[in-house]
Structure 1
Amino acid sequence: MRTRFWHYHSRFDAVETVTRHAMNQPPFKAREGRVMNFLGVAIDPRVFPPALEPMTGKIEAAPMPNNWHADLAEWGAAFRAVDLSGPRFTMIELGCGWGCWMTNLGVIARRTGKSVHVIGVEGDAGHIEMAKQSLAENGFAESEWTLVTGIAAGRSGTALFPTQDQPGGSWGLEPRFDAGEEEAQNLVASGRYVALPMIALGDIAAAEPRIDLVHIDIQGGEVGVVEACMEVLVEKVAYVLIGTHSRQIEGRLFDLMIAAGWELDMERPAFLDINHPVPMISVDGVQGWRNPRLF
């Protein structure tokens, strides 16, 4: 049966791209206490226990058309960015969580003979520790990655980020940018939020002459970052992969990116649950944009 995850549009063959990278690897074995994905990446089940604990000690099949983490549209577009990169693959993952895209894309880039530098920005300190563990466990030297605790934003400043007792308990935590001074002090004093630096993309990318991929999954803040950072995106970034969190956001991104000369390379709209007075997103959308000026 062709599920809804097959319904994407792309300028390239996503099935061939994912299949090629899944097969282009040395043999690997299952590992006790870990899930091995289709690329040979070892994943700690505590990243997402409901899906991963039953798979512990097993090897996961390729996502045709999806797995517990992402679908063919997102995997394909991410791998496409690696394919389009030169001898050095550099990426930034905004909202990096446990370092999923940093780890997986770094692994396939190394496997194709490229040097690697992967950069992640994340607000949850527990998730930062997960990302460090994932990168180290999958063979990355500290010189190959940079992790920054903060909130990806269109400008510098300070914002509030919610706390949680158990890392991995929620992957959809949303920062607060609008709290007044008194409210912010009360929220931090309650222990429910921490104050973190807002980190502009231009600051993150300052040391890099070229970024092969920026992956953006920041719970509804996509438009603000893209709009505020368009100059650095156009100048330095070859490919942008965005997880979208509403149809309204998707339309605004179309306007912004097309007006700035980007080419839509992959698109799957967000899935809606319409059994509510206001339709709700059930699955985030995917947009992959290619910068023709850098090719």
Structure 2
Amino acid sequence: MSIPTQSLSHEDIVAVYEVLLGRRPESDSVIEYYRHAGSAAAVVRSIGQSAEFAERRISSPFHHYHSSFDPLAIMRRHAVSGLPPRDGHLTNFLGVVIHGKFLPGILGDRTGQVEDIPIPANWHADIAEWGAALRAVELARESFTMAELGCGWGCWMNNTGVASRRLGLKPHLIGVEGDEGHIAFAREACASNGFAEDEVTLFRGIAAASAGTALFPRQSASGIDWGLEPIFNATEEERDRALRVGSHDELPMIPLDEVIGDRDRLDLLHVDIQGGEADLEDSCIDILSRRVSYMVIGTHSRQIEGRLIDSLLNAGWILEMERPAIIRLTEGTLLTLVDGVQGWRNTAL
């Protein structure tokens, strides 16, 4: 066997092993062998074809979901080949472009790239969430209307909107978000992905069962913290102090029926509201059952997952996708490391 003359450094080989296999090379001779493989790409290809890498990939917790449909087949049906890159943006497998400034800590070195299909996961979602959201798109007919509660930069607005448009459906995308800068990101993202102004409705406020006001944290720069939680039922003293020091804004609570408006129904409701999802569902079960066809819910604890399952099954909904929250036990306390995902289909609609 001839040995290529180009060599990689000791640190290069160690880094590739740690990224792909989660460990250091087993010996100096292995490092020396791969140093002369010709290129980093050749090393990656070689290790990527190994049984150890295949086993490690399959063992990802994001492969451990339960569903009544094939989410991998759905993802592959919607994957677009030959996508061109765009400067300053990451392009995902659906053709959605995401500006690097939205998540500078995550996307800073990925702009100008086109991302592969995210199996089992990418930087913001896994098979369960991609599959359930795209399932709602495929169940829609003629038009596709969705609402994203806690929309951030509008990720699910744009992902499902682009997928629905490619199927020939007329989209209307609705977002509710408390952070002013994130609302601006969502508006820009929708425009960058080709949605007209009359195809997008954005509310700055807090998704809730009924009208009112709540306190929402301010951050120094948008795009840093995506897990900000509103304060409901603040005392007058708490409210005055928060507004005086500028730590929070007082925002309207926007009821679900106002979000839906005079539209016949929502084909998809995506809910990710930092722990308030079960309370919202309990308070809105009537309107959900009358006017929402499909829900994808980000669950922030095992307790919330149980509440949702009890309530929605009793209301006649079908659980089509479930991947539980990934937790860590710390001295008997359950700490959620990664949100869970539930996909629910409304049999009444």
Aligned to 1:290: 345
- The correspondence for 2:214, drawn from 152, 156, 159, is 159
Within 5 Å, give how 1:130-209 maps onto structure 2. Answer: 130-209=185-264
Asked if residue 15 in structure 1 is aligned to residue 15 in structure 2, the reply is no
Asked if residue 46 in structure 1 is aligned to residue 101 in structure 2, the reply is yes
Contact 2:148 2:271 survives alignment (8 Å):
yes
Q: Percent identity?
A: 52
Deviation string for 1:19-51 (max 9, x for gaps)? Answer: 11013x6x4211111111111111111222222
Q: Larger relative CO (CA 8 A, sep 6+): 1 or 2?
A: 1
CA-based RMSD of the aligned residues comes to: 1.0
Shift, 1:276, TM fit: 4.5
Within 5 Å, give how 1:27-46 maps onto structure 2. Answer: 27-46=82-101
| Equivalent-residue separation in structure 2 for 1:293 and 1:242 (angstroms) | 19
Q: AA paired with 2:114?
A: I
Deviation string for 1:158-181 (max 9, x for gaps)? Answer: 000000011111000000003101
Q: AA paired with 2:67?
A: S
Taking a change above 3 Å as real, the CA distance of residues 152 and 293 of structure 1, as seen in their structure-2 partners, is same
Secondary structure, in 3 states, of the residue corresponding to 2:144?
strand
Deviation string for 1:134-179 (max 9, x for gaps)? Answer: 0001100001010000000111100000000111110000000031
| Equivalent-residue separation in structure 2 for 1:79 and 1:158 (angstroms) | 33
| Equivalent-residue separation in structure 1 for 2:233 and 2:253 (angstroms) | 13
Q: AA paired with 1:43?
A: I
Aligned to 2:63: 6
Secondary structure, in 3 states, of the residue corresponding to 2:108?
helix
| Equivalent-residue separation in structure 2 for 1:139 and 1:203 (angstroms) | 26
Aligned to 1:70: 125
Aligned to 1:123: 178
TM-score in terms of structure 2 length: 0.82
| Equivalent-residue separation in structure 2 for 1:75 and 1:47 (angstroms) | 20
| Equivalent-residue separation in structure 2 for 1:104 and 1:219 (angstroms) | 21
Deviation string for 1:189-216 (max 9, x for gaps)? Answer: 1110000000110121121111100000
Contact 1:8 1:73 survives alignment (8 Å):
yes
Within 5 Å, give how 1:208-227 maps onto structure 2. Answer: 208-227=263-282
State the aligned residue count.
Answer: 292
Asked if residue 90 in structure 1 is aligned to residue 145 in structure 2, the reply is yes
Secondary structure, in 3 states, of the residue corresponding to 2:171?
strand
After TM superposition, where is structure 1 displaced by more than 2 Å over at least 4 residues in a row?
none
| Equivalent-residue separation in structure 1 for 2:345 and 2:334 (angstroms) | 30
Asked if residue 263 in structure 1 is aligned to residue 318 in structure 2, the reply is yes
Deviation string for 1:226-266 (max 9, x for gaps)? Answer: 11111111001000110000000000001110110000010
Stretches of structure 1 that go unaligned for 5 or more consecutive residues are: none
